[in-house]
Amino acid sequence: MTRSDNNNLLKGDRLTRKLDVVATRLRDLFGTPARKRKLPDPLELLVATILSQNTNDVNSHKAYVNLKTKYPDFMDLAGVRAGEIERLIKIGGIAKKKSITIVRVVREIRRRFPRFNRRHLKSEERNSLIDRLRELDGVGYKTACCVSLFALGDDDAFPVDTHVHRVLNRIGVVNEKTPDKTYLAVRDFIPPGKGYEIHINLIRFGRKVCTAQRPGCSQCVLFDVCNWKEKSLQVSERAASANEEKVRFMLLEEV
Ligand code: SF4
């Protein structure tokens, strides 16, 4: 074994141990999230994920409902012009860009995937499916992993969004500059079957405690293991109110 192999093993070992501490404490804090009984359709989930970009859950859900009401079968979106759906999804923001992406993605899916349903997608090996989905223009690691985790019920998939990226880097589980790099650094270290739990609890934590602005470090269950240089025991008013508000999330699962 070379020195570099050895260093990688040590790095992987540290990452595994820290991730385990994070997962355990967040489970103590939030519990083990329960999955919905009925998994969403893969194409509907994919479209919902595109709609959720750069907006809040409430508005992206409204945009989704508008689109679904007019086009109950999203495969039909392959035959419409982007301009036709732009006004339907306007409430979700950057509608022009999203409408172009959605129509293009659905057209590509029709061309490249003979069947885009759960049974067929599930038969593919996870990383190869994620790579195939990423070949669709406008689909990145996060969206591809969301399809795998939420629509295929793959508990080993682990989408990394801005919340997950921010929290894992502040704590020091990884030291990466972008969500994609964070995903690539952690994906092989997620304990088997724990992708759903860790993903959901990190998002809860990132929205309620370790917020982007003025995180609630003073009440944080991870304070002692967190590497963030700016962590502080001073109570943040904003963090306190964030804890009290009803946090709505994961509408993706409800599509
Ligand atoms: S101590 Fe602060 S920065 Fe670190 S994980 Fe907790 S809330 Fe986030």
Domains along the sequence of the chain with CATH: 18-34+158-254 (1.10.1670.10), 42-151 (1.10.340.30)
Tokens (6 digits) for 242:
């964030």
Q: Which atom of ligand 1 is nearest to the CA of 215?
A: 7
pLDDT tens profile 1-31? 666 666 666 678 889 999 999 999 999 999 9
Q: How confident is the model at residue 59 (pLDDT cuts 50, 70, 90)?
A: confident
Is 198:25 a contact under the CB 8 Å cutoff?
no
Name which of 138, 146, 55, 140 is nearest 101 in CA terms: 138
Among protein residues, the one with the nearest Cα to ligand 1's atom 3 is 231
Q: Are 133 and 105 in contact (CB under 8 A)?
A: no
- Mutation probe of ligand 1 site: the residue of 19, 25, 171 with most atoms within 8 A of C-beta: 171
Distance CA 255, CA 249 (A): 12
| pTM (predicted TM-score) | 0.87
186, pLDDT greater than 50: yes
Give the per-residue pLDDT at 64.
93
Dist. CA 242 → ligand 1 center (Å)? 14
Q: Which of 210, 224, 234 to mutate to test the pocket of ligand 1 (most atoms within 8 A of CB)?
A: 210
For residue 170, give the nearest of 205, 219, 196 by alpha carbon.
205
DSSP letter, residue 88: T
**Could you tell me the CA-to-CA distances from 154 to 41, 109, 144, 148, 171 in Å, in that order?**
14, 20, 12, 6, 26
- Percent of the chain having pLDDT more than 70? 88
Average pLDDT of span 155-174 = 95
CA distance 226 to 74: 43
The pLDDT of residue 54 is 77
Mean pLDDT, residues 92-97 taken together: 89
Q: What is the pLDDT of residue 74?
A: 94
User: pLDDT digit string (tens) for 64-90?
Assistant: 999 999 999 999 999 999 999 999 999
- SS3 of residue 35 by DSSP: coil
